[in-house]
Amino acid sequence: MKVYLIITQILYVITLLPWLAIWGLSFMSFDMGVNVYNASFVLSITLYPVAIIIGSILAWGFRSKKKRFAIIINLLPLLWIISFFGFMIIY
């Protein structure tokens, strides 16, 4: 279990480098004006590191008592990665 958590969290830290560039570029969505859709787009990208931190803390906290729950919590930041690649394929 420890090896799984360490490997996935190293991968999450590696994805923070491209996230920083994507986060900076996401503010260009406001070029056509400010509305709720643009703000929620930027907010969803901004919450990725928060999901990594909270998921890591909770996964390490639950790793000894509830292993399956710890695995599920640790995979939550993967939703951002999957949706990003999904949008890249679609558009």
Q: Note down pLDDT in tens along the chain; length 91 residues.
A: 889 999 999 999 999 999 999 999 999 999 989 999 999 999 999 999 999 999 999 999 999 999 999 999 999 999 999 998 898 898 7
Assess contact for 20 and 53: CB atoms under 8 A: no
Give SS3 for 64: coil
Give SS3 for 34: coil
Range of the domain at 23: 2-90
Structural domain total, the chain: 1
pTM, rounded to two decimals: 0.84
pLDDT at 32: 87
HSE-CB for 56 with a 13 A CA cutoff: 14
Tokens of 19: 């996230």
